[in-house]
Structure 1
Amino acid sequence: MIRAQNFNKEVEAKINIDSKGVLTDIIFSAYNKTSIKKSLRYKALIVKNASPTSSKEQFDDEQYFVIEAGERKNISKTTLSLENKERTIVFVLLYEEEKVIGKDRIVINGFEGEDDMQPKVVQKDNLIEPNKRKQSQDIDLMKGLVFENTKTKPGRDFYQMFYLAYQNNNINGNEIVKVDEVLAIGGNTQIKIYAGNELVVQFFLNPRSSYIKEMVDQSILRINQYFIHNRAISQNTIQY
């Protein structure tokens, strides 16, 4: 038997938006429903312009915080410009130690062909009856998300090839994957690939297309192995 995980039961994560024309305030909050003070960590993330070959991280905030019993508090805030009506995904996760206990997700400008409200907000979870989604709730909002922070053309070439390979292999890891390009010795750059906070792959970048292709293949293999290993550990932990 596998125990179902309950999100927002003890501490509820919430995203509120306040549209002011082109500018939109995004406010992340937490509500402690318990009778004890808790020390938690949140991760708030906003992604704009998600497409088959591009996911641009717009906002990334991760901090520890303390919340009193029965307290509702704002934990993070940012302001976005949505003048181009970009499809924008907003989500927040609440962690107690390394366990996710709360989450919320909103999609802005989520569906093509809808009316011209700006922003148009679609609360995806509201489209599903609560009794039908309890069994399937997991960290689904993170599956398939790959973000980039590249600085050079070879870095962008690697990211685009890596992203397409990630999708084509249907990896859909349950943690955010991030491709970072950082400066290294001698003016070179280094690629670092993270799954969540875990560094899984790192190598010095070479602009040769054959080298980039080889490193894409190796990186996809190692990322896939990472998620397979994590799923095996998780299943052994929650089965009894």
Structure 2
Amino acid sequence: MKVFSYIGLTILLFLSYPSLSQDINSDIEAKIFQESNGEFITIKAFAINKTINNHSLRFVLTITDKEVSEKAATPEKEEGRFILAPDERKELASVFRNVDPTQRTILLLLLYDEEDQMVGKDRIVLNGPENVDPTKLIIEAKNAISEDLSNAGEDGYVGLVGIVTEDTKTKPGRDFYRMYKQAYDNDKINGQQIVAVKEILAFGINTKLQVLVEGELIFEFFVNPRAGYLDQMVDAAIDRTNRYFQFIKKRGDNYVKRY
């Protein structure tokens, strides 16, 4: 009898231990996104709330830069506390890195709840996994940069083409951004101005989605959950975006902002 009692107690302790019973990224997801234009890489860390509750959380973003040939390096840390609303996707930090085939960057994002239990985790390695041949990485990076430079102007300026940023607050907002970005890429618009999809509060509890080019509003609408409505708005927004970029091109002035 004592043997079975010990076994039962062990199983009970195992099931009640928080770190073993809790699924990472199930309710709160940690996500690291990256975007490259061949010259530099933009990395953004996000927390995504998959529940209908508010959460008080803490994040730790660890960034380790090291030469490909190095075995170890001293990591940098960025951390802070934040509140995540229901169904919210919040940007926690952004990092910029030059495309450098001799340098490998490892990013680790961890999310903790009020009891300091890990609830979210994501990790990416820039310049490939540990077993990638560094010589191949160097060749690929050089080819990407050479292609961009061949398309540059006489002054050697390489434009930031095809950049679409997101600042949404609800699931319909995120769905619109995803659909808009996919249509934008499929149509190969590749505008030299940065396009922003932004969601703002409107009357009551409604929200409004806006599409802006370099801060100039070109399209907006109130969010409506009706089936097929987002598809119509995406088509209209893409049409307006195409016409706006054609207008800029025909204008023939030096509109492009350089950074």
Higher relative contact order, chain-length normalized (CA < 8 Å, sep 6+)? 1
Larger Rg: 2
TM-score by length of 2: 0.46
